[in-house]
Amino acid sequence: MIVKPADRTGNVQEYYFSQKLAQIDRMRREGLDVINLGIGSPDQAPSENTIEALIAEAKKPGSHGYQSYTGIKALRTAFSEWYMKYFHVSLNADNEILLLMGSKEGIMHISMAFVNHGDEVLIPDPGYPTYSSVTNLVGGIVRKYDLKEENDWLPDFASLENSDLSKVKLMWVNYPNMPTGASGSPALFEKLVAFGRKHKILICNDNPYSFIQNDRYLSILAAEGAKEISLELNSLSKSHNMAGWRVGMVGGDAGYIKEILKVKSNMDSGMFLAMQMAAIEALHNPESWYSEVNITYSRRRKIVVEIMELLGCNFDKKQVGLFVWGRIPDNIPDCESYIENILQKSLVFITPGFIFGKNGERYIRISLCANEKRLTEAKERLIKLIK
């Protein structure tokens, strides 16, 4: 390159799955039938009324112009009603909800709005890699906090309280948790809110997995005083099978939302109106629709559990969410080599836990986003490998 890239790009690497998907694509072009059990991209369709609403609105000549940065009032209202119905949280559609093109966008916007150069950001280990990469991109300092199996993958508040928190500005949490499948609880969210208030740390809960293999819909915003010190991200990606549609939201105090809007309004020109109208329909899906989606995931999960047992992994059967997370046997020296060996010899890709942090080094994660036929085939290939 003739032009040197910005220094900030030296602080991040290409996303692991971007590289791995390219490898899998190359293998498939060579004629190899790779079964991908790594990515959490829902393969079921959105509800029929959601798709019909998209088509109907897209056919209207007036639907294709620029839209408001905050999104249409009807969609913000739909999100507000959805939060009240399932999370028992009141969010003012006028100023406490901001629409996003997926919650991943929100991680960047929130970080840009609140993290100054040199501010520390508490990031879970294991945790979603984007929390760290975005913190690096905005000039913040990544400060990992441990989530461990022996503590049910919950923050160790005693350890955090015994550390210097004076430079910490923001804390990322994610319950139901990815990658571990650990559930949150009202008690946990109350502790987080109290912790944030005490140390003036903005607590951000990333909450896209509440509806997957889970019958307890929880939000940090339901905790007393939560809006004063916390934000919550949510999206339709996992809950409504709309990952590629890129529809999400951030909810919280109007003052925080206003600051995030300052960033967002300089980075996009609003969401396609037909997409917003379709999202309204999705948010009005009956409870039976969520149940049907989860029945499919339950059948798949049984096969994934069998795969975990076949591989000799230890795992918590009470996990929720879109994956199953398991600890590999002690006699396996290296998880990355183990996973690569499975990919090369069985043509089955499983996510190694090290990509989520050092506390994930002895773990693997298997996605439920493959149909029963492919999961069964993956299991049969692994049986042959082990024999």
Tell whether the model's pLDDT for residue 11 goes beyond 80.
no
Structural domain containing residue 326: 7-45+288-386
Say what the pLDDT of residue 20 is.
Answer: 80
Residue 323 lies in a domain: yes
Cβ distance 168 to 143 under 8 Å? yes
Query: Which H, E and C letters describe 352-373, residue by residue?
Result: EHHHHCHHHCCEEEEECCCCHH
Are 21 and 85 in a shared domain? Answer: no
Residue 122 lies in a domain: yes
Say what the pLDDT of residue 310 is.
Answer: 95
In this structure, what CATH number is given to the domain that contains residue 277? Answer: 3.40.640.10
Which pair of structure tokens corresponds to residue 140? Answer: 């913040």
Residue 53 lies in a domain: no
Q: 120 pairs with which residues across the strands?
A: 141, 168
Please state the rounded mean pLDDT for residues 358-362: 96
pLDDT by residue (tens digit) across 59-68? 999 999 999 9
Say what the pLDDT of residue 39 is.
Answer: 84
Are 89 and 176 in a shared domain? Answer: yes
What is the distance between the alpha carbons of residues 232 and 87, in angstroms, rounded to a whole number? 12
Residue 51 lies in a domain: no
Catalogue the E-assigned strands of the chain.
35-36, 97-100, 120-125, 141-146, 168-173, 202-206, 230-235, 248-252, 323-327, 348-349, 351-352, 363-367
Are 295 and 360 in a shared domain? Answer: yes
Number of domains making up the chain: 2
What stretches of 69-126 show up as alpha helix (H) in DSSP? 73-87, 103-114
Are 91 and 161 in a shared domain? Answer: yes
Say what the pLDDT of residue 363 is.
Answer: 97
What is the distance between the alpha carbons of residues 51 and 216, in angstroms, rounded to a whole number? 27
Nearest to 225 by CA among 253, 249, 250, 262: 253
Are 160 and 258 in a shared domain? Answer: yes
Confidence of residue 332 (pLDDT cuts 50, 70, 90): very high
Are 177 and 245 in a shared domain? Answer: yes
Cβ distance 85 to 211 under 8 Å? no
In this structure, what CATH number is given to the domain that contains residue 20? Answer: 3.90.1150.10
Last residue of a domain, one of 259, 283, 307: 283
pLDDT by residue (tens digit) across 245-297? 999 999 999 999 999 999 999 998 899 999 999 999 999 999 999 999 999 99
Residue 329 carries which DSSP code? P
What is the distance between the alpha carbons of residues 244 and 340, in angstroms, rounded to a whole number? 28
Please state the rounded mean pLDDT for residues 12-19: 73
Are 217 and 306 in a shared domain? Answer: no
Say what the pLDDT of residue 17 is.
Answer: 72
Are 238 and 132 in a shared domain? Answer: yes
Are 306 and 257 in a shared domain? Answer: no
Residue 60 lies in a domain: no
Last residue of a domain, one of 225, 256, 283: 283
Last residue of a domain, one of 216, 250, 283: 283
Residue 76 lies in a domain: yes
pTM given for the model: 0.94
pLDDT by residue (tens digit) across 147-157? 999 999 999 99
Residue 50 lies in a domain: no
What is the distance between the alpha carbons of residues 222 and 260, in angstroms, rounded to a whole number? 21
Are 179 and 98 in a shared domain? Answer: yes
Are 83 and 104 in a shared domain? Answer: yes
For helices 273-283 and 48-58, angle between their N-to-C axes, nearest 10 degrees: 160
